[in-house]
Amino acid sequence: MAELSPMAPADLVVGPVDPGEENPHSPWISFLRVFAENRLALAGSIVIVLFFAFCFLGPVVYRTNQVATNIAQASRGPSPHHLLGTDAVGYDVLGRLMAGGQITLVVALLVALLAASFGLVWGAISGFSGGGVDSLMMRVVDAALAIPGLFLLIFLDAILRPSVVILVVVIASLAWLAPARLVRAEVLKLRTMGYVEAARGAGAGPVTILFRHLFPNVIGTMAVNATFQVADAVLTVAALSFLGLGIPPPAANWGSMLSNGVSYVFAGYWWQIWPAGVCVVAIVVAFNFVGDGLRDAVDVRLRRR
């Protein structure tokens, strides 16, 4: 049993554990140990925490007007008034990085959550049903993956009016395809396992098996995938912003700041390009590192080193 399910190692099942004492074999402890062994993953998590603090606590300390433009102050270099200068319409760049970061992070997290959950349900139903239902559901995924996502996104964006909610839904409406495939493959493997057979023998219905026995075992894979999805969503929002299809102003995100900044690439306004560029790259790299670390930590085989 312990070999099969990462959620129930033998030690936990055999004897009651004193809640006051830390159990060295607890799955959470070994999970954290493997994760923390990966220096890059640890660094990535620290960067993510710092970015959250910067975006959500920063505006409390560093107050700026991010609603009204101020053309008289446009494209000024860094000064004591504007630590990172101002952009082409006079917004304070440092303050805008905070405000834009909030939207970037929230959009990316929501996309990942939505895409992972929908992909989980779709993939699990598909893999668990098998036969014709499975084929049909997977051909839908194949067909949607065949048209490059960016083309479909531009299409949907041209039809729908962009707003934060629509942007999240539109990006998620394509991002769930990859996790759906992943979950299906996992479920196909899991559903032939002994404990599923045993549950079925004990009279458990398909819904119970799906929710009680299969979901907990794919959650790890999904967490890894969702982490990569966050990074991808940041890049997708940036790409759409560059194509003029992001979130309309005065709202900002790092992608739109970067793409506005690069229009002035030859004017020497470095503060309009590099800070936003560094933010995007840093957060994407950080989430990728954390995803790699999570993948190792979720992998049960590595825990027994």
Interacting residues with another protein (CB under 8 A): 139-140, 142-152, 154-155, 157-159, 231, 235, 238-239, 242-245, 255, 258-259, 262, 265-266, 273, 277, 280-281, 284-285, 288
25 vs 139, beta carbon nearer another protein:
139
Residues in the chain: 305
Least distance CB 132 / another protein (angstroms): 12
Integer Rg of the chain from CA: 23
- For another protein, give the closer residue by CB, 183 or 273: 273
Alpha helix segments (H runs only) across 38-92: 39-56, 58-61
From the number of C-beta atoms within 10 Å of its C-beta (0-12, 13-18, 19+), residue 131 rates as exposed
Shortest spacing between CB 295 and another protein, in angstroms: 12
CB-nearer residue toward another protein: 78 or 277: 277
Write the burial class of residue 225 (CB in 10 Å: 0-12 exposed, 13-18 middle, 19+ buried).
buried
Q: Is the dihedral of CA 139, 142, 145, 146 positive or negative?
A: negative
Q: How far is the CB of 39 from another protein (least distance, A)?
A: 12
Q: Which residues pair with 92 in a beta bridge?
A: 86
CB nearer to another protein: pick between 45 and 64: 45
What DSSP assignment string belongs to 145-184? Answer: HHS-HHHHHHHHHHHSPP-HHHHHHHHHHHHTHHHHHHHH
Shortest CB 2 distance to another protein, Å = 25
Q: Which two tokens stand for residue 23?
A: 């159990």
Residue (109 or 204) nearer to another protein, CB: 109
Taking the least distance from each CB to another protein, the nearer of 58 and 246 is 246
Q: How far is the CB of 257 from another protein (least distance, A)?
A: 11
Minimal distance, residue 75 CB to another protein, in Å? 17
| 272 contacts 75 by C-beta, under 8 angstroms | yes
